[in-house]
Amino acid sequence: METDVDVAVVGGGIIGLGIAWEAIRRGHTVTVIDPDPAAGATHAAAGMIAPASELHYREEHLLRLTLDSAARYPEFLASLTWTGIDPGFRRTGTIVLGFDGADRQALADLQAVQARNSLVVEQVSLREARRSEPMIGPAATAAFRAPEDHQVDPRKLAAALLAAVTSRGTLVRAAATGVERDGSHVTGVRLADGSVLRAGSTTIANGLAAAGLAGLPCRLPLRPVYGDILRLRVPEALQPLLTHTVRGLVRGHPVYMVPRTDGTVVLGATMREDGSNAVSAGGVYQLLRDAQQLIPAVSELELVEVLCRARPGTPDNAPLLGQVEGCDRLLIATGFFRHGVLLTPTAAAVCVDLLEGKPGPPGLERYTPNRFEEG
């Protein structure tokens, strides 16, 4: 079959760009299709590489992927050094704070789960927490430390990936409308102008928009989980405000602050399923309120950006990752919900392994894209 390219990737967010770059560096010709690359959830994401403190109940199964991906990050980033764009990788550990009794209980319960999974999360005294982070507020009553959490700046990482992909592959700034099929074979991608890009294999990695593509062999049950997120600048007199990521449960409300090397802090993030993709006044209020409990000096910071993006959620909030039975030359990689940045290197490795005919990692069937189909 004649093709235009070995690999077509629909979607130029962090996941699509990561897959494209992985395919390129393994020698494939690659085209990424996105009308506005890195402008969706990637643009909002805080970029915590934090398998430990991002662990949620009933998501333990994801640890195999998240720990694998965190371990892959240094090499993945090293492969991009030649672009000259620093992706902002920092070995910032996390300090987790609790406030009322229910916060303390929830965090202690979570710590037990973390310990059972061999994650390094230790309870520390508030005195010790304040030795690392003197700005912690007076209302905190419990503290945990997750020293192995790190961070990347998703905007910078996306910029590096975009530079790499456009330099050694092709970016088509257009919307995809669907996949082309010849029986059980996917043969390429149809673009909004009606043209078709013929590809040896096609990967669907355009987040929520994947659900709207024509020609897929199964329904992709994605739903938007909106998040409001703020960027604050620390005035010079207060720098550095933080040297760790500081997060917590503030009377039941989760909130995090991720300090960047450029003197800004990312403050996030709400979880809204109210159907509004506009920044929520109530959401911004809650974030500022709760962040001031973590770090009262938040009130002294400059508010430099307020935005909202949608995370691609699924019925079990686990990704849709892998092949769909009975349909070949097609890979799905979406539904990464809160974990898109963290899971990028592993999603990239899994997808490129599969399109090369190699086996996926053990347990991948848990994420089969058509697992919610009946019968």
The nearest distance, CB 270 to its own copies, in angstroms, is: 11
Q: Is 288 in the site for its own copies (CB under 8 A)?
A: yes
The nearest distance, CB 38 to its own copies, in angstroms, is: 23
Going by C-beta distance under 8 Å and a sequence separation of 6 or more, which residues neighbour residue 68?
A: 346, 361
Query: Residue for token digits 């905190």?
Result: 140
By CB under 8 A, how many residues form the interface with its own copies? 23
Per CB under 8 A, the list member of 74, 101, 235, 363 interacting with its own copies is 235
The nearest distance, CB 43 to its own copies, in angstroms, is: 17
- Given the rule CB under 8 A, which of 84-92, 118-126, 183-191, 229-237 is the region that contacts its own copies? 229-237
Q: Structure tokens of 372?
A: 């919610």
The nearest distance, CB 298 to its own copies, in angstroms, is: 6
Q: Is 292 in the site for its own copies (CB under 8 A)?
A: yes
Rounded to whole angstroms, the Cα distance separating 356 from 354 reads 5
**Helix H or strand E encompassing 156:** helix 154-168
Residue by residue, DSSP assigns 40-103 as: SHHHH---EE-TTTT--TT-GGGHHHHHHHHHHHHHHHHTTGGG------B---EEEEE-SHHH
Q: Is the dihedral of CA 147, 149, 24, 365 positive or negative?
A: positive
Q: Is 306 in the site for its own copies (CB under 8 A)?
A: yes
Per CB under 8 A, the list member of 151, 280, 334, 370 interacting with its own copies is 280
The nearest distance, CB 281 to its own copies, in angstroms, is: 5
Residue 375 CB burial class (10 angstroms; 0-12, 13-18, ≥19): exposed
The nearest distance, CB 115 to its own copies, in angstroms, is: 35
Q: Is 295 in the site for its own copies (CB under 8 A)?
A: no
> Which residues would be at the binding site for its own copies (CB under 8 A)?
230, 232-233, 235, 276, 278-282, 284-285, 288-289, 292, 298-304, 306
